[in-house]
Amino acid sequence: MKKTLIMIRHAKSSWTNPLESDFDRPLNERGKKEAPEIGEKLKSLNIIPDLIIASNAKRTRQTAKKIAKEVGYDIDNIKWEEKLYHCNSSVFEEIISGIGDKVKTLFIVAHNPGITEFVNQLSPEFSTPNMPTCGVVGAHIEVKEWSDFSTAKRKVFLFEYPGNEHNN
């Protein structure tokens, strides 16, 4: 059985208020434009989530909601996960391993540097020095149950980001 994991880095955030905490930084205008565009791209590829899990930081909440809207996912069903805020790659694996088996396609919206570290561990054929803002990495996971994620065969099939016109 094949499941699909879509890892998404939050869209471009604003640095206009130097007193604002990192956690509370919102998207900037570019981020507000690019997040729905990536959602449209995922929908055009017929990649629709059964579940979206996102960090509860402001910029990831905004990114997740904009993408959810474009792919037709109810924003009230997004699961906000505090542990995803600037986590390391082992936290992603822990969260994924706890997903219910009815979920076939899972979107996770999170932050660098952990998301880059994690996507680079997904399959030996894939590597990126930096997951761009609003970047998406998709992997097919050969697994019946998400709890077997750590030992599952995984293959990256998608690397998409704003401005990457030659891809897909």
Domains of the chain, by residue range, sit at 2-15+22-160
What number of other Cβ atoms are within 10 A of residue 117's Cβ? 15
137: exposed, middle or buried (Cβ count in 10 Å: 0-12, 13-18, 19+): buried
d(CA 105, CA 67): 14
pTM over 0.75: yes
Question: Which of the listed CATH numbers 3.40.50.1240, 3.90.1150.10, 3.40.50.11740, 3.20.20.450 matches domain 2-15+22-160?
Answer: 3.40.50.1240
Q: What share of the chain is helix, strand, coil (3-state, %, to 5)?
A: 35, 20, 40
pLDDT tens, position by position, 51-110: 999 999 999 999 999 999 999 999 999 999 999 999 999 999 999 999 999 999 999 999
d(CA 11, CA 111): 10
Cβ contacts of 34 within 8 Å, gap of 6 or more: 11, 12, 133, 134, 162
The pLDDT assigned to 75 comes to 97
